[in-house]
Amino acid sequence: MSTATALKTETEADVSWQTLCTKNDLVAFSGVAAWIETAEGPAQVALFYLPTGPNTPGLPGHETELYAIDHHDPFSKANVIARGIVGDLKGQPVVASPIYKQHFRLKDGVCLEDESVQLRTWPVRFEGDEVWIKA
């Protein structure tokens, strides 16, 4: 597992965008853990890169290439979500926790086995080859 730290910050109307890494630091259809600075303090995020396109084998029907969700698994109380297995359940991209195997939707962090549990999510985007996150 690789980690990245914020390289630079851009502020827009009290919203902070930070660079985390480059596209080359990501692993397709897998997770990478990173630290970000939030208003509440530092947080660990799990970044997932799901390439799209006609020549890219992958998960059917997903709209977004890049997702950022909380790296902390609330069931095992460990920072392991980036090490989870990426897949598709009910037409939605998900990650299965590597400890107890709960599935979390990548778009909103909701646990499919217990919808009262939800991981934090952050807007994330590519700017050229850089990965930016809104914290």
CATH code: domain of residue 41: 2.102.10.10
Q: How many domains does the chain have?
A: 1
pLDDT in tens, the chain (135 residues): 444 444 454 544 546 899 999 999 999 999 999 999 888 899 999 999 998 766 555 555 556 789 999 999 999 999 999 999 999 998 889 999 999 999 999 999 999 999 999 999 999 999 999 999 998
Task: Give the DSSP per-residue string, 5-68.
Answer: ----EEEETTEEEEEEEEGGGS-BTSEEEEEEEETTEEEEEEEEE---STT----TT---SEEE
Structural domain that includes position 17: 3-134
Task: Give the DSSP per-residue string, 75-90.
Answer: TTTEE-GGGSEEEEET
Residues contacting 88, CB < 8 A, separation 6+? 59, 60, 61, 62, 94
* Per-residue pLDDT at 91: 81
* Per-residue pLDDT at 123: 96
Q: What's the pTM?
A: 0.83
